[in-house]
């Protein structure tokens, strides 16, 4: 069995957090990346041949995965390969969808000689032993098996919903329905018989569900549902991403990071231990290596190298690597991307959240883009998005709730 991880999504719903990285490369849980969960699942499930299909802003993801050593892919009998769009004399397309991405790399998949292809979404957080799914797939004699999980009725419009009979055979697929009787969502985990998948990819369909799975269903092939009952979350929106992270610091989190039997593996940075200063006051938080805290931190996640200076307060927030919160600054219900700076006495998450429907996607949170700088003494309202590289120059001292500040141009004259 060969694993293919679909990790090329741009994730527009995550706004500035995915301006310069794919969704799968977004930091998660204090020290990880989202893709770490899928790669760890593959490692623990003894899947040693992995292809990672990338497209949107892949540099961060490529750098993180490297040769795959943290997940055990850097040995003679296995390996991880980064598969991104390439040019030939006859083909010069970007990937047009999930199925098209696989089709463009079919020669490499065939060369591995695997009987089955496991297709995985790289932007979801869960622990799963794929070997159990393989056992169900073989026992049912399925052409394709879909992993499904139960979701709340109000969440169904976010997912592809799956209906199946008592034996687990899929009877209907619905893509993000407004209303449905289905109770289970597709997890974006598909196990295919290689021959059947290759045959349907000959015509280069764009979408894996519409172009491959639905035709198999209509043709009467055995399409089986494998129910997964463990923790699973799609972190593709700001609200779901924030909630999934903050749940980790609950007294009894649904996702337990400390699991010696199934650890989440990642590329660990060489950082010194956490330093808590004389005035540090930390409660209900995750603080990663390399952080320096001399202020107050409540119910927050600090990624490696984050600095909270004396008199600063960070509450209900996510602070990415190497971000600095200046003396006396306050950060509340915000997500600050890496290398951001909050000047002395500034407030991020100030006042009331905007109530207009157009701002509902932010759930009252404030987003500060990578390398952005908030001037000393500034007031940044709730529901504000500050763009990537937005510097100290030109930023107003008061940024009203709901404002959208664009990213700074990379060089003079760029549109």
Please indicate, yes or no, whether residues 72 and 184 belong to a single structural domain of this protein: yes
Average pLDDT, the chain: 91
By CB atoms closer than 10 A (0-12, 13-18, 19+), residue 219 is exposed
Last residue of a domain, one of 214, 249, 284: 249
Is 237 within a domain? Answer: yes
Rounded Cα–Cα distance for residues 390 and 409 (Å):
9
Please indicate, yes or no, whether residues 104 and 44 belong to a single structural domain of this protein: yes
* φ, ψ dihedrals at 80, nearest 5°: -120, 135
Is 184 within a domain? Answer: yes
Last residue of a domain, one of 206, 231, 249: 249
Q: pLDDT by residue (tens digit) across 62-120?
A: 999 998 999 988 876 678 988 887 766 566 577 788 898 898 889 888 888 899 999 99
By CB atoms closer than 10 A (0-12, 13-18, 19+), residue 115 is exposed
Domain extent at residue 233: 2-249
Cα separation values, 305 from 130, 292, 298, 301, 394, Å = 35, 7, 18, 12, 27
Please indicate, yes or no, whether residues 63 and 198 belong to a single structural domain of this protein: yes
**What pLDDT does residue 414 have?**
43
User: For residues 393 and 412, is the Cβ–Cβ distance under 8 A?
Assistant: no
Between 94 and 265, the more confident residue is 265
Please indicate, yes or no, whether residues 364 and 316 belong to a single structural domain of this protein: yes
User: Is the pLDDT confidence value at 242 over 50?
Assistant: yes
Q: pLDDT by residue (tens digit) across 173-217?
A: 999 998 899 999 999 999 999 999 999 998 888 899 999 999 999
Q: How confident is the model at residue 269 (pLDDT cuts 50, 70, 90)?
A: confident
Please indicate, yes or no, whether residues 67 and 165 belong to a single structural domain of this protein: yes
Rounded to two decimals, what is the model's pTM? 0.93
Is 261 within a domain? Answer: no
Buried residues in 232-242 as b, exposed as e (16+ CB within 10 A): bbbbbbbebbb
User: Is the pLDDT confidence value at 415 over 50?
Assistant: no
Please indicate, yes or no, whether residues 182 and 323 belong to a single structural domain of this protein: no
Angle at 293 between CA 288 and CA 294, to 5 degrees: 170
**What pLDDT does residue 413 have?**
42
Q: 330: closest CA among 291, 402, 380?
A: 380
Q: pLDDT by residue (tens digit) across 22-31?
A: 999 999 999 9
CATH number at residue 45: 3.90.550.10
Q: pLDDT by residue (tens digit) across 215-238?
A: 999 999 999 999 999 999 999 899
Please indicate, yes or no, whether residues 240 and 369 belong to a single structural domain of this protein: no
**What pLDDT does residue 117 have?**
96
Q: What is the DSSP letter of 213?
A: I
How many domains is the chain partitioned into structurally? Answer: 2
């Amino acid at each position: 069995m060969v694993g293919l991880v679909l990790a090329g999504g741009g994730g527009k719903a995550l706004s500035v957090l995915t301006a310069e990285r794919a969704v799968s490369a977004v930091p998660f849980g204090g020290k990880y990346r989202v893709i770490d969960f899928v790669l760890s699942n593959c490692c623990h499930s003894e899947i040693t041949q992995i292809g990672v299909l990338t497209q949107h802003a892949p540099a961060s993801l490529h750098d993180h995965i490297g040769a795959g050593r943290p997940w055990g892919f850097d040995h003679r009998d296995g390996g991880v390969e980064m598969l991104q769009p390439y040019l030939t004399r006859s083909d010069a397309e970007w990937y047009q969808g999930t199925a098209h991405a696989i089709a463009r790399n079919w020669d490499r998949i065939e060369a591995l000689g695997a009987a089955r292809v496991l297709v995985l979404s790289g932007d979801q957080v869960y622990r799963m032993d794929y070997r159990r799914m393989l056992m169900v797939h073989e026992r049912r004699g399925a052409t394709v098996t879909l992993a499904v999980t139960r979701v709340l009725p109000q969440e169904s419009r976010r997912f592809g919903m799956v209906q199946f009979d008592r034996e687990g055979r899929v009877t209907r697929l619905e893509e993000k329905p407004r209303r449905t009787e289905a109770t289970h969502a597709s997890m974006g985990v598909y196990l295919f018989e290689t021959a059947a998948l290759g045959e349907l990819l000959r015509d280069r369909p764009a979408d894996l569900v519409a172009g491959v799975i639905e035709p198999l269903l209509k043709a009467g092939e055995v399409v089986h549902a494998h129910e997964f009952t463990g923790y699973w979350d799609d972190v593709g929106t700001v609200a779901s991403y924030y909630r999934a992270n903050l749940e980790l610091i609950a007294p009894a989190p649904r996702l337990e990071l400390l699991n010696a039997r199934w650890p989440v593996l990642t590329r660990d940075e060489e950082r010194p231990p956490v330093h808590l200063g004389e005035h540090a006051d930390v409660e209900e938080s995750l603080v990663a290596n390399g952080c320096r805290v001399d202020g107050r931190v409540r119910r927050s996640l600090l990624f490696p190298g984050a600095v909270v200076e004396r008199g600063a307060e960070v509450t209900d927030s996510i602070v990415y690597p190497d971000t600095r919160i200046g003396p006396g600054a306050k950060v509340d219900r915000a997500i600050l991307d890496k290398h951001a700076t909050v000047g002395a006495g500034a407030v991020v998450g100030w006042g009331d959240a905007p109530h207009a429907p157009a701002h509902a996607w932010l759930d009252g949170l404030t987003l500060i883009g990578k390398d952005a700088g908030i001037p000393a003494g500034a007031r940044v309202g709730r529901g504000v998005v500050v763009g990537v590289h937005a510097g100290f120059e030109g930023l107003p001292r008061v940024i009203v709730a709901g404002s959208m500040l664009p990213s700074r141009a990379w060089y003079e004259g760029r549109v």
